C-alpha cells in the first residue's frame, strides 16, 4: 500500500489536475490524503463533492510547511523515504 499525501492551501484550481491524474493510474493500491492548511477557497467542498475517495485532513488555520531538522531529513533520505 502506498500513501500519497498532498499538501494544499487554496489550491482548488490545481487539485483536479492532480487528483484526476491519480484516478487514471493503473496501479490502485494507494490511499490519497489531502492535508488542507486552512484554505479559504472551495478546496474542501470540492474534495467532498468530486473526490469522495480522497481522505481530507482539514486544519483550522494555515500553519505553513514544517521545517524538518537536518538530522530527520537525512534519516528519511537514508531509508529511501525521500525522492
- pLDDT given at position 14: 97
Q: Count of domains in the chain? A: 1
Long-range contacts of 37-40 (CB under 8 A, 24+ apart): 37/7, 37/8, 37/9, 37/61, 37/62, 37/63, 37/64, 38/9, 38/62, 38/63, 39/8, 39/9, 39/10, 39/11, 39/12, 40/10
pLDDT digits (tens, 9 = 90+) for 28-73: 999 999 999 999 999 999 999 999 999 999 998 887 766 555 555 5
Say what the pLDDT of residue 83 is.
47
Q: Does any domain span residue 56?
A: yes
The pLDDT of residue 49 is 98
Residue 64 lies in a domain: yes
Which domain covers residue 24, as residue numbers? 2-78
Whether 82 has a pLDDT exceeding 60, the answer reads: no
CATH code for position 10: 3.90.550.10
d(CA 68, CA 40): 26
Q: In this structure, are strands 2-8 and 30-37 parallel, antiparallel, or unpaired?
A: parallel
* Residue 83 within any structural domain of the chain: no
Amino acid at each position: 500500500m502506498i500513501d500519497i499525501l498532498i499538501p494544499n492551501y487554496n489550491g482548488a484550481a490545481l487539485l483536479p489536475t492532480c487528483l484526476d491524474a491519480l484516478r487514471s493510474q493503473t496501479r490502485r493500491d494507494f490511499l490519497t490524503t489531502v492535508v488542507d492548511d486552512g484554505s479559504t477557497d472551495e478546496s474542501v467542498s470540492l474534495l467532498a463533492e468530486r473526490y469522495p475517495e480522497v481522505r481530507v485532513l482539514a486544519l483550522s488555520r494555515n500553519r505553513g510547511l514544517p521545517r524538518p531538522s537536518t538530522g530527520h531529513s537525512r534519516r528519511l533520505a537514508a531509508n529511501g523515504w525521500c525522492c
